[in-house]
């Protein structure tokens, strides 16, 4: 609470009730102490030209008593930003000179995070990551960060603070993304032969290099475009498409589409769709198997539509294909059980 009249030091005193206070605090870099060293009272926010002069006065006064100023910290208020700009600091070179010494300048974390949040509310952050031999474009929005921040399951289980839990989730996510290209690998060479043999032994279906399907990862309703995330089962989700081998080990994953997008549309957007025309991905005329949601292709086999008049051979085909395809159902079950 501010109680007094306007007092701006050598910039004058006025018989006007002050509404705001300006305080300069010195804090030790190597120790734990901090101490208010100057304060001023004003009727409104202190303009940038006065801020520049007062800041210089405080730095010089501290120097006289043997305290060398290494850096300044302030919020990102308009007048503060303008004052630092007038002193010569820029975003690329955040420093300025006073009495022959270079001082670095920083914005305090809460205000910086607020500005960062406001930017994410308006813009998405896009980046490319390498998974195997393909480049995948990922986009992060404020909605994704909000989901992480509001997720309290980890906190409730292990009782760390939510901030600690969020940091842990981010670090694990980064580690998994980094390791993905090592473990999410489309089978080639001897590995491909092993996958094909594994499916043939377990289901009797020949030439299968992978089973493909989609599933939904349930999420809290996002604050923006929530309806787009509602899937056909009526809950909010992110779509995950994956291919796995006979041992339920994922060999390709594609995630990020909103829950309302159909499996067939997700497939057309994924890299696996382009694999169909790349014979190096399907050695020995192999193929992946999927359900009726996918279109038939020489490298993507789907079941015969059961119209009640299937031949025994067609029924055997559907049975063996279904047996092989159970691998991806099992893989999703293991994933969601973690």
User: For position 164, what pLDDT does the model report?
Assistant: 76
Q: Is residue 266 part of a domain?
A: yes
Q: Is residue 117 part of a domain?
A: no
Residue range 66-80, pLDDT digits in tens: 888 888 988 878 888
Residue range 163-218, pLDDT digits in tens: 777 888 888 888 888 888 888 899 999 999 999 999 999 999 999 999 999 999 99
Same domain, 332 and 202: yes
Q: Which domain holds residue 145?
A: 124-180
Q: Is residue 119 part of a domain?
A: no
The pLDDT confidence band at residue 274, using thresholds 50, 70 and 90, is very high
- d(Cα 67, Cα 241) in Å, to the nearest integer? 61
The total domain count for the chain is 3
Same domain, 39 and 142: no
User: For position 154, what pLDDT does the model report?
Assistant: 55
User: For position 74, what pLDDT does the model report?
Assistant: 86
User: For position 289, what pLDDT does the model report?
Assistant: 95
In the chain, alpha helices (H): 48-64, 78-86, 109-122, 142-150, 153-158, 162-183, 189-203, 263-269, 271-275, 312-336
Q: Is residue 245 part of a domain?
A: yes
Same domain, 93 and 212: no
Residue range 16-40, pLDDT digits in tens: 888 888 899 998 877 778 889 988 8
Same domain, 103 and 128: no
pLDDT greater than 90 at residue 275: yes
How long a stretch of residues is the chain? 338
User: For position 31, what pLDDT does the model report?
Assistant: 75
Over the chain, what is the mean pLDDT?
86
Most confident among 82-96, 127-141, 313-327 (mean pLDDT)? 313-327
pLDDT greater than 70 at residue 118: yes
User: For position 175, what pLDDT does the model report?
Assistant: 84
The residue out of 85, 112, 139 marking a domain boundary is 112
Same domain, 228 and 248: yes
Query: What is the mean pLDDT of the segment spanning 89-105?
Result: 86
Query: What is the mean pLDDT of the segment spanning 97-115?
Result: 79
Q: Which residue has the higher pLDDT, 145 or 191?
A: 191
Same domain, 254 and 266: yes
Same domain, 296 and 224: yes
The pLDDT confidence band at residue 131, using thresholds 50, 70 and 90, is low
Q: Is residue 68 part of a domain?
A: yes
User: For position 13, what pLDDT does the model report?
Assistant: 84
> What is the dihedral sign for C-alpha 29, 35, 40, 41?
positive
The residue out of 79, 112, 145 marking a domain boundary is 112
Query: What is the mean pLDDT of the segment spanning 293-302?
Result: 93
The pLDDT confidence band at residue 314, using thresholds 50, 70 and 90, is very high
Same domain, 287 and 300: yes
Are 45 and 20 in contact, with CB atoms under 8 Å apart? yes
User: For position 241, what pLDDT does the model report?
Assistant: 95
Residue range 56-69, pLDDT digits in tens: 999 999 988 888 88
Same domain, 272 and 168: no
User: For position 152, what pLDDT does the model report?
Assistant: 53
Q: Is residue 56 part of a domain?
A: yes
What residues contact residue 26 under an 8 Å CB cut-off, 6+ apart? 34, 35, 37, 62, 67, 69
User: For position 125, what pLDDT does the model report?
Assistant: 77
Same domain, 99 and 174: no
The residue out of 180, 196, 220 marking a domain boundary is 180
- d(Cα 194, Cα 206) in Å, to the nearest integer? 12
Q: Is residue 143 part of a domain?
A: yes
Q: Give DSSP secondary structure letters for 95-135.
A: EEEETTEEEEEEE-HHHHHHHHHHHHHH--EEEEEEETTEE
Same domain, 171 and 204: no
Same domain, 153 and 24: no
Q: Which residue has the higher pLDDT, 193 or 41?
A: 193
Q: How many CB atoms lie within 10 A of CB 112?
A: 13
Query: What is the mean pLDDT of the segment spanning 130-140?
Result: 71
Q: Is residue 118 part of a domain?
A: no
């Amino acid at each position: 609470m501010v109680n007094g009249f306007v007092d701006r030091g050598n910039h004058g005193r006025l018989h006007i009730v002050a509404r705001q206070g300006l305080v300069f605090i010195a804090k030790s870099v190597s120790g734990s102490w901090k101490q208010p060293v100057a304060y001023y009272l004003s009727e409104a926010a202190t303009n940038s030209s006065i801020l520049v002069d007062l800041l210089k006065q405080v730095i010089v006064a501290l120097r006289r008593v043997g305290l060398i100023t290494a850096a300044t910290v302030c919020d990102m208020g308009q007048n503060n930003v303008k004052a630092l700009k007038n002193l010569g600091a820029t975003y690329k070179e955040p420093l300025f000179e006073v009495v022959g010494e270079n001082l670095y300048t920083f914005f305090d974390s809460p205000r910086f995070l607020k500005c960062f949040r406001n930017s994410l509310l308006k813009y998405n952050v896009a980046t490319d990551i390498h998974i195997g031999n393909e480049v995948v474009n990922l986009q992060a929005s404020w909605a994704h960060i909000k989901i992480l921040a509001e997720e309290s399951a980890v906190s409730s289980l292990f009782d760390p603070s939510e901030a600690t839990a969020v940091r842990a989730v981010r670090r694990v996510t980064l580690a998994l993304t980094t390791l993905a290209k090592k473990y999410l690998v489309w089978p080639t060479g001897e590995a491909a032969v092993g996958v094909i043999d594994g499916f043939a032994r377990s289901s009797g279906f020949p030439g299968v290099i992978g089973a493909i399907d989609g599933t939904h990862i349930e999420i809290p309703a996002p604050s923006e475009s929530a309806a787009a995330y509602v899937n056909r089962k009526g809950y909010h989700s992110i779509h995950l498409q994956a291919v796995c081998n006979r041992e339920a080990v994922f060999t390709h994953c594609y995630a990020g589409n909103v829950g309302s997008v159909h499996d067939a549309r997700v497939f057309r957007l994924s890299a696996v769709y382009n694999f169909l025309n790349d014979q190096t991905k399907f050695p020995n005329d192999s193929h992946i198997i999927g359900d009726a949601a996918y279109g038939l292709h020489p490298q993507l086999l789907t079941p015969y539509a059961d119209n009640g008049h299937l031949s025994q051979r067609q029924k055997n085909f559907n049975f063996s294909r279904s047996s092989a395809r159970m691998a991806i159902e099992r893989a999703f079950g293991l994933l969601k059980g973690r």
